[in-house]
Structure formats: structure tokens, C-alpha cells
A and B are shown apart, each in its own frame.
Chain A
Amino acid sequence: MKPDKEILIKKWLNDELSPEEFEMFKKLDKYEEYIKISDRAKHFKAPHYNQKVEFEKLNFATSSQKKSSNLKVFKYVAAVAAIAIIAFTLFQTLNTTTNLQSFATSTAKTKSVQLPDQSKVSLNANSNLTYNKDEWYKERQLQLNGEALFKVKKGQKFVVNTAYANVEVLGTVFNVKSRDYIFEVSCFEGSVKVYLKGQSYVLKPKDNLVIDHENILITQFSSAQPDWKTNKTIIDSKSLDIVLKEFQNYYDVNFDASNIDTSTIYSGSFSHNDLKIALNSITLPLGYTYTKQGNTIILSNQ
């Protein structure tokens, strides 16, 4: 009987060939090729698997769950951790009322503030901005004392509270100036609602609201950004005492104006970068001169 080729090969592959069958297998025409394939297969051997090392690794990983005593300890640790977390959250919630964020600038300094909703605020000199961080997502509300430019992300209403009025918007760019001697709101984009003395005023882009001698005036302007962002102050028909107060936001000086009439109306502008030029741009048109003594500027008639 002559077993066929396939059976011979299969038997060879399982080391089952009898010596006679092996002789027959050797006579197959592809015999050498098969032997070579089988032999060279050993070069593809899998990398050594170190049973002991691998088990050690595994042991390490399983040991944490292994012992019940460990589990008990874990339970206590978990309980303590849970109490700590609860206490912390309670503390946080009770603490919300005092979680205020405050930003302040001194004379001649400005500051950029990023609010939690990505709205941006540029704070002008001598200004103060406060908001409640925890309440922010319920109600976008801030307190402003001074001057700031707001770029508000679209969203729920955004309210700027000042000593004069509440300025309310949805998403827009606007400037609020709220100082003890002046209140002014300028709208650059979108629309702004100003609540003032029980009345509301809606400002469209390029509208400017100003309180002038107890009167509320809405005028148009043409600049693309507030004057202070270009490092100067533009003044349109204001009495000199207001101008001097405004001046002191940008320069650390005192004025002695006892020799002149501070109710003189001034229109013009002054730079925030150079004290000498700024003083000249105010005094020259009005026909005044100044002398400087330390930090004090004495104004006098020519």
C-alpha cells in the first residue's frame, strides 16, 4: 500500500512517520523544500516568555484586591476621604458669598481681565472691577468704579453696576466710564441698555450717553475705540476741574489751581505718555502757564 502524499506530509507534520514512511516521504519531489521550510520556521520563534517575571508583575497588580484586610483598610480610607470631600464642598458652598474677584488699577496703569465666560475687560487707570466668581454662571454681573471697555461674549444678560446706573447688554463691545465727576457709556458694537434713575436708555453702535449737569445726553461719536485705548483723553466742552481730575488718572500729580478759574470750559485732548506735552496741550489753549514743584503743578495766568 502506498499512502498518498498528503497523508505522508500530515503525518510528518505530527511526527508520526514510521521509518519506512519516512523513506517514502524523503522521495517526494518537494521533500527538500518542506524540510527547509520546517527548519527555517525556527528562526521565527516568539521571544522568550519569562513565566516567573510575568507572574510577578501580575501578582503586583492583583495583590491590592487580594487580602480582605486590605479591603477593610480601604473602606476606612474611603470613608474618611468621602467625609473630607463633603466637608470641603460644604465649605465651598457656604463660602460663595465671599468668593469675589477684584481687579484694580492705579494711576497711569491699565489691565486686561478675562472673565470666566471668555468676555474681556480692559480696565483703564484708577479703576476697580469686582465680580462674584461663583455666581457668574447664574448671572453675569459686575461692579465697576472707574472706566473700562467691555467685549462681551454672546450669552445671557451681562450687567455692569455703577454708582450712577446699571448697564445691561447681551453681547457687545462697550465702554463705561463711571467716576465721581462723570458718567459716560459708549457703545461700539451690538446694543446696550442703561438703567438710570428709573429710566432705561438703549444705545446703538456709535451712541454715547453722558450725564452732564444732571442732564442725560445721547450723542454720536465716530471713533472705533475709546480714547484711552489710544493713550489719550479727548475732552469735549468740559470744565477745567473735570479735566484736571481726569488728568490725574494718568499722571501721578497734584494740581494747585487756586490762582485760576477752574470753571473755564476746555475742549481738546491730552496724551497719556508725556507729562510735559500733556500739560501744554491743556494750558496753552486756555492761556495758562504752569510750574512744577515736585509732584505739584501750579497753574497760573500768563
Chain B
Amino acid sequence: MTKDKLLNKNCCDQSIFSKLHDKHAKDLHDFIYYKFGEQFNPKDKVQQAFLKLWENCKKITPDKAKSYLFSVANNTTLNVIKHEKVILKYESNTKSNNSDHQDPQFLLEEKEYMDKYQNALSKLTEEKRAAFLLNRVEGKKHKEIAKILGISRKAVEKRIYTALKQLRKEIHEI
């Protein structure tokens, strides 16, 4: 079967390598971005991970590639990070809507809300933030996230749920 064939191969084949990139690069990028924020250059981390995979392609079978990529990107980021506060940028609401007709009061409140949101996100643990945003922003199902992060579906569900609860508390009650 094709799957058996794949298992016997390593990642040194260009076409396999290219497929792995198609399959995992975006998820890996989003994961690193949501987890650590922008200041650690998620794109570079993705590049580094794929380069590392290429260097070690003889040792890694395609089915192991994904977890290899994720741990390399995660670890290289952790190496530079000093657990700084992660501030994610938000796109201002006014851009998408026809801002001319918006009530300044509303705009101000919206701005306040988003600032609170930003702050609340920065207070979440990396794991919770990554899972929550992959779910809410990227529209990924619990099962997909579980696969990406290499944890159980239940754990993902728990992370997202507690993230939501924590965010609501931070934003609406304080």
C-alpha cells in the first residue's frame, strides 16, 4: 500500500518534503504564532524547523515528520524566549465596517473591549492560548488540534473551555 511505502521512505525525497511543507507549514506557523506571539518571528521558526528536518531527513520517516517539526519549532522558540508577555495584535474593527457611520461612543467601547481582550489573552498560558485561537480563529475542530499538538481530544476540549471561561472572567467581570 502507499502508506507502507511511505513508512519505508525518509523525507529526503523532494516531493515528499514539499508535501510535508504543504501539509504542516501553516498549522505550525499558526501554532507558534498563537503560542508565543509575533516577536519571536514564527515564520523563521517554521523555516528553521523545516531546514532541520531536511538536514536530518535520512533519520526521519514522513509519519514522524510532523511531531519532529513541531517539537523543533517549539524548542527553538523556547530557547530564545524568556517568558515575556505575549501580546497579539488585533485588527481594528473599524477597517472592515463602514466607519463613517459608526458612533464614536461605540468605537471607544470597542477599543476598550479589544484592549481588555488583548490583555486577557496575554495572561493565558501558552498552551491554552494556542488551543483556543486555533479553534476560534482558524476554525479547527478539537480533533484536529489534538492531532497538531499531539495530545488527547479531551485535553484540547478542556484547554479551550477553560480558556474561554478565563477570558470571559477577565474581560467581563473585571
By a beta-carbon cutoff of 8 Å, the part of chain A in contact with chain B is 6, 9-10, 13-15, 30, 33-34, 36-38, 40-47, 49, 51, 54-55, 57-58, 61-62, 65-66
Q: Contact check: which of B29, B30, B132, B168 meets A33 at CB < 8 Å? A: B168
Task: Report the separation of the CA atoms of residues A38 and B171 in the bound assembly, to the nearest whole angstrom.
Answer: 12
Contact partners of A65 in chain B: CB under 8 A? 54-55
12 contacts between A and B (CB under 8 A): A14-B135, A34-B168, A37-B171, A40-B114, A44-B89, A44-B117, A46-B30, A49-B25, A54-B43, A54-B46, A55-B21, A65-B55
A66 with B160: CB separation less than 8 A:
no
A14 with B157: CB separation less than 8 A:
yes
B22 with A51: CB separation less than 8 A:
yes
CB distance from A90 to the nearest CB of B (A): 35
B167 at the interface (CB under 8 A from A): yes
B14 with A38: CB separation less than 8 A:
no
Q: Which residue of A lies closest to B31 (CB)?
A: A46
Given A13-B157, A37-B168, A38-B136, the answer on whether A44 and B121 have CB atoms closer than 8 Å is yes
A41 with B136: CB separation less than 8 A:
yes
B164 at the interface (CB under 8 A from A): yes
CB distance from B73 to the nearest CB of A (A): 13
B42 with A9: CB separation less than 8 A:
no
Given A14-B157, A33-B168, A38-B136, the answer on whether A43 and B33 have CB atoms closer than 8 Å is no
A49 with B43: CB separation less than 8 A:
yes
Task: Report the separation of the CA atoms of residues A15 and B161 in the bound assembly, to the nearest whole angstrom.
Answer: 13
B90 at the interface (CB under 8 A from A): yes
Q: Contact check: which of B26, B92, B117, B142 meets A51 at CB < 8 Å? A: B26
Task: Report the separation of the CA atoms of residues A61 and B29 in the bound assembly, to the nearest whole angstrom.
Answer: 19
Q: Contact check: which of A43, A54, A61 meets B114 at CB < 8 Å? A: A43
Task: Report the separation of the CA atoms of residues A58 and B34 in the bound assembly, to the nearest whole angstrom.
Answer: 23
CB distance from B120 to the nearest CB of A (A): 9
Q: Contact check: which of B18, B91, B118, B168 meets A55 at CB < 8 Å? A: B18
- 12 additional A-B residue pairs with CB within 8 Å, beyond A37-B171, A40-B90, A41-B132: A9-B161, A10-B160, A13-B164, A14-B141, A40-B113, A42-B136, A43-B90, A46-B29, A46-B30, A58-B50, A61-B51, A65-B54
By a beta-carbon cutoff of 8 Å, the part of chain B in contact with chain A is 14, 17-18, 21-22, 25-26, 29-30, 33-34, 38, 42-43, 46-47, 50-51, 54-55, 88-93, 113-114, 117-118, 121, 132-133, 135-138, 141-142, 157, 160-161, 164, 167-168, 171-172
Task: Report the separation of the CA atoms of residues A65 and B26 in the bound assembly, to the nearest whole angstrom.
Answer: 25
Contact partners of B33 in chain A: CB under 8 A? 46-47
A58 with B21: CB separation less than 8 A:
yes
Q: Contact check: which of B55, B136, B161, B172 meets A10 at CB < 8 Å? A: B161
CB distance from B74 to the nearest CB of A (A): 16
B157 with A10: CB separation less than 8 A:
yes
B90 with A44: CB separation less than 8 A:
yes
B26 with A49: CB separation less than 8 A:
yes
Contact partners of B167 in chain A: CB under 8 A? 37
Considering the complex of A and B, which 8 residue pairs feature the smallest CB-CB distances, nearest first? Answer: A41-B136, A43-B90, A46-B33, A49-B29, A44-B88, A14-B142, A46-B30, A62-B54
A46 with B171: CB separation less than 8 A:
no
Contact partners of B18 in chain A: CB under 8 A? 55
Contact partners of A40 in chain B: CB under 8 A? 90, 113-114, 117
Task: Report the separation of the CA atoms of residues A30 and B164 in the bound assembly, to the nearest whole angstrom.
Answer: 11
Task: Report the separation of the CA atoms of residues A160 and B102 in the bound assembly, to the nearest whole angstrom.
Answer: 89
Contact partners of B135 in chain A: CB under 8 A? 13-14
Task: Report the separation of the CA atoms of residues A44 and B161 in the bound assembly, to the nearest whole angstrom.
Answer: 18
Q: Contact check: which of B21, B46, B161, B164 meets A37 at CB < 8 Å? A: B164
Task: Report the separation of the CA atoms of residues A17 and B113 in the bound assembly, to the nearest whole angstrom.
Answer: 27
Task: Report the separation of the CA atoms of residues A44 and B114 in the bound assembly, to the nearest whole angstrom.
Answer: 10
Q: Which residue of A lies closest to B14 (CB)?
A: A66
B141 with A43: CB separation less than 8 A:
no
A43 with B157: CB separation less than 8 A:
no
Contact partners of A36 in chain B: CB under 8 A? 113
B157 with A30: CB separation less than 8 A:
no
Contact partners of B25 in chain A: CB under 8 A? 49, 51, 54-55
Contact partners of A44 in chain B: CB under 8 A? 88-90, 117-118, 121, 133, 137
B51 with A41: CB separation less than 8 A:
no
CB distance from B32 to the nearest CB of A (A): 9
